[in-house]
Structure 1
């Protein structure tokens, strides 16, 4: 990545562009450097190194959702045309497609959990409201009123989990899934490392 000589005023000024697309540039000394060396899968199905994945995902997250990107990978000139280098593009696309599917599965599981907890919460709230009304109607003593308010509070506390799921927990999962999907379709360019001087 080429850093500007002037002070950085925004994140966009740190990245070069090509045809209106932000370049996510990665310089490698070997093809295997891009992949998780502990992953036993065949080369083209290997998991991307976590640092490389984080760099790509973080870059996409730094920009507005409609921004277009291109991944540009620089390799030593001697290996740019190698068979291993040719497998980089499908390997990156496969990796992020897999991440997208895993995130989709997490979203469905969280949505299912949210629906069940909403049903439980609403049922408990209804029971608590009815019990609260009964206690308040049967006795106007201070202890009965305290019990009535306690039941009411418990009913609303039971709604905390479903509210948290639907208001806060689902949206980050949806956003991450969209990012993975976007990366899985990005154009990827393999170029030789620029020679010094």
Structure 2
């Protein structure tokens, strides 16, 4: 479903602009934290929208709130908030890959040690106990490398998905419309 200018719409109906922000936050709108419920609502709706369409957010206000011109502050606050969230996800992705590289080095060293010990056991000892110990070392070696493999194969996908979603929300066109009470 497309809204104005071909953008997928997310609509919020608020009594005033302050409902969009964390009430414990001492900063004015532009620097304020978006309330967790408001963020969750916007993100959940954005996840349902087509991935290839730009997003628009329409805020219907019954009263302008504390300032006479809420539009630019609300729009800037929302897009800045989601831009910061996108940057946070990008940082988390960089940290995950840095941790993954370290885990890979540790895991590779652990795998090499286990395979070496298994080889030494094979060369020096025979019998069922030696065979069980040898296979156990091989299994332990592969388990040690499992976490780095998991990081590089799977763990980065949710971070990239969230970063893209937050970036789309940061680029959203936010419009504020005053509605009669």
Equivalent residue for 2:121, pick from 120, 131, 135: 135
TM-score by length of 2: 0.91
Corresponding residue for residue 108 of structure 2:
122
Per-residue deviation at 1:99?
Answer: 1.0
Per-residue deviation at 1:139?
Answer: 1.3
Residues 1-197 of structure 1 correspond to what in structure 2 (within 5 A)? 17-76=3-62, 78-79=63-64, 82-193=68-179
Q: Deviations over 1:131-170 (max 9, x none)?
A: 1111012112111111100100000000111112112211
Consecutive unaligned residues of structure 2, counting only runs of 5 or more, are: none
Structure with greater proportional helix content: 2
TM-score by length of 1: 0.84
Distance 2:73 2:38 in 1: 16
Asked if the contact 2:11–2:60 (Cα under 8 Å) also holds between the matched residues in 1, the reply is: yes
Runs of 4 or more above 4 Å deviation = none
DSSP 3-state at the match of 1:158: helix
DSSP 3-state at the match of 2:33: coil
Consecutive unaligned residues of structure 1, counting only runs of 5 or more, are: 1-11
Distance 1:86 1:186 in 2: 13
Asked if the contact 2:8–2:50 (Cα under 8 Å) also holds between the matched residues in 1, the reply is: no
CA RMSD of aligned residues (A): 1.8
Per-residue deviation at 1:194?
Answer: 6.0
Q: Comparing both chains, which one has the higher relative contact order based on Cα–Cα distances under 8 Å and sequence gaps of 6 or more?
A: 2
